[in-house]
Amino acid sequence: MHRTIIEPFRIKMVEPIQMTTLIEREVFMKKAHYNPFLLNSDQVIIDLLTDSGTSAMSSGQWSALMNGDESYAGARSWHRMYNEIHDLTGYDQILPTHQGRAAEKILYTIIGGKGKVFVSNAHFDTTRANIEYSGAIAIDCQTPEYLDSNSSYPFKGNIDIDLLEKNIIEHGATNIGAVILTVTNNTGGGQPVSFKNAVDTSIICKKYGVLFILDACRIAENSYFIKNYETDQKHKSYRQIAKDMFALADGCIMSAKKDAMVNMGGFLALNNVSLAEECTQLLIITEGFSTYGGLSGRDMETIATGLQEVFEPDYLEYRIKSTQYLGNGLQQLGVPIQLPVGGHAVYINAGELYKHLPPSQYPGQSLVIDMYVKGGIRACEIGSVMFGKLDAQNQLIPASKELVRLAIPRRVYTQSHIDYVIETFEMIVKNKHQAKGIKIIKEPKFLRHFTSHFDYIS
Ligand code: F0G
């Protein structure tokens, strides 16, 4: 057995990375007001801000792109994408959108609204925002295993079935907009949902006559975990596991920017014809005609090819193992991470790494600044900057955890890039006691992590 997980691809085209020095990066960071979102991408050496829309397309996808049929209605490329999604999901009604949140906006506007309640394993932030914007309420039902950071239970992304049923009874089945199972669970650490949990969710939804929607943007990664960690699913192919999971639900939303490995795209797929007709009206008003929605013909070609490639066993093996490789490397240095490692990202517990910094001094923000200055690595704080709230006295109500997400773009970085990230953490760990507290200088009303200005506490 070889120790090295080689990338199952050769590189045909390269994109240069601009190298920078520590002194330059100190200046860049200061000019960006200590907010990595305000850096220019050419000031970044390794960009781990997101795995969304950052994939490298394959030669198969680039050649499919040239087959794009840009006709307004009934394009060949639409039929190709429709057939691919239909074969994978089994749903007849397919609505193409420019990205995941556009599909969310359409569906949750139609089935949401005041008085409606949505229940999920964990709503992603745009999902929650679209639900709440419609006037409805979004409730997360995490399991006790998820809440225990030391538990290495393999399916920490699961929804708590008892809590789900309790919520349906409490709010009344007719008031439930939908139950949404997000696979993998991005908000929870990129951790998977088991097949059994999806079956149990489906049983509850059928019992109460409630709509069951999958947020399927990382369903291939989720299938990897099911095949490898759920004994009674081992005999199935990754694609078959995904197909069987889609069959349990009434529809799905997918941001194609993740597991369809394209730079832009998404779709909504449903069984229910009359619901789909209502959604199609809104699709035509806000996105485009029903056979292209928010997409060009070439996008639809690349999505169709990407959805085939993502289930290739060699790809998935490399994808999940290489995320684990980063997690293992960090753990060996004593960096506290969320366990077990999920599919698309490693989540660092910055509150524990920088123990001397209280939440009010934003240890996660301090860590993302250090990662950039020391290594030119860009990552995202998922702690009290992103989720903290202020009470009536303007005091911070901290987030439940001070995390930093290192999200890994698909097929973009090699093992030596990841080794470089791990080496940067050697420096960070060595100097962890010197990490400085951070204060917010200027913040917007909503989504403050994107545009706030920060500085060191002197
Ligand atoms: N659902 C999940 C679980 C997501 O992770 C995302 C996006 C969306 C929906 C929305 O899709 O971006 O195409 O509109 N997640 C990105 C991230 C932004 O960085 O995790 P979108």
Atom 21 of ligand 1, residue of closest alpha carbon = 100
Per-residue pLDDT at 207:
98
At 447, is the pLDDT very low, low, confident or very high (cuts 50, 70, 90)?
confident
Could you tell me the pLDDT band of residue 211, with boundaries at 50, 70 and 90?
very high
Is pTM beyond 0.85? Reply is yes
Q: With contact defined as beta carbons under 8 Å apart, do 74 and 306 qualify?
A: no
Task: Give the distance (Å) from ligand 1 centre to CA of residue 305.
Answer: 20
- Look-up: residue for tokens 């009206």? 281
pLDDT at 174 over 90: yes
Q: How far, in Å, is the centroid of ligand 1 from the Cα of 99?
A: 9
Q: pLDDT at residue 446 above 90?
A: no
For residues 370-382, give the mean pLDDT: 97
Give dist(CA 402, CA 2) in Å, integer. Answer: 36
Question: Ligand 1 within 6 A of 449 CB?
Answer: no
Q: How far is the CA of 291 from the centre of ligand 1 (A)?
A: 23
State if residue 215 touches ligand 1 by the CB under 6 angstroms criterion. Answer: yes
**Of ligand 1's atoms, which has the minimum distance to the CA of residue 49?**
19
Look at residue 208 in the predicted model and tell me its pLDDT: 98
**What is the share, in percent, of the chain residues with pLDDT greater than 70?**
100
Closest ligand 1 atom number to CA of residue 99? 13
Tokens for 323? Answer: 């995320």
Q: Are strands 389-390 and 396-397 parallel, antiparallel or unpaired?
A: antiparallel
> What separation in Å is there between the alpha carbon of 255 and the centre of ligand 1?
6
Compute, in angstroms, the gap from residue 429 CA to the centroid of ligand 1. 31
Choose the residue to mutate in 48, 50, 101 for probing ligand 1, maximizing ligand atoms within 8 Å of C-beta: 101
Residue 127 Cβ contacting ligand 1 at under 6 Å: yes
131: amino acid identity, one letter: I
Average pLDDT score, the chain? 96
Residue 407 alpha carbon to ligand 1 centre in Å: 12
Alpha carbon nearest to ligand 1 atom 19, residue: 50
- Cβ of 50 below 6 Å from ligand 1: yes
Contact 153, 192 (CB under 8 A): no
The DSSP letter of residue 401 is: -
Whole-angstrom Cα distance, residue 236 to residue 222? 14
> Ligand 1 centroid to 27 CA: how many Å?
31
Instruction: Give CA–CA dist 345/77, Å, rounded.
Output: 32
Could you give the 3-state DSSP secondary structure of residue 418? Answer: helix
Over residues 362-387, the mean pLDDT reads 96
CA of 345 to the centre of ligand 1 (A): 13
DSSP state of 142: B
**Residue 99 near ligand 1, beta carbon < 6 Å:** yes
Give residue for tokens 């520590």: 22
At 416, give phi and psi (nearest 5°): -70, -30
Confidence of residue 233 (pLDDT cuts 50, 70, 90): very high
- pLDDT at residue number 151: 85
| C-beta 257 within 6 A of ligand 1 | yes
Mean pLDDT of 78-107: 98
pLDDT of residue 1: 79
Prior bond of 340 cis (ω within 30°): yes
Per the listing, tokens 């906006």 go with 105
Q: Is the CB of 322 under 6 A from ligand 1?
A: no
Query: Distances in Å between the alpha carbon of 288 and those of 150, 284, 296, 360?
Result: 47, 5, 10, 45
Closest atom of ligand 1 to CA, residue 255: 13
Query: How many C-beta atoms surround the C-beta of residue 321 within 10 A?
Result: 12
Reading phi first (left if > 0) and then psi (alpha if -120 to 50, else beta), residue 362 is in: left
pLDDT at 188 over 80: no
User: Ligand 1 pocket check: which of 217, 403, 404 to mutate, most ligand atoms within 8 Å of Cβ?
Assistant: 217
Closest CA to 369 of 32, 19, 51, 21: 32
Phi, psi of 197, rounded to the nearest 5 degrees: -65, -35
Bond preceding residue 184 cis, omega within 30 of 0: yes
Separation of CA 335 and ligand 1 centre (Å): 26
Task: Please tell me if the CB atom of residue 101 comes closer than 6 angstroms to any atom of ligand 1.
Answer: yes
Q: What percent of the chain has pLDDT over 90?
A: 91
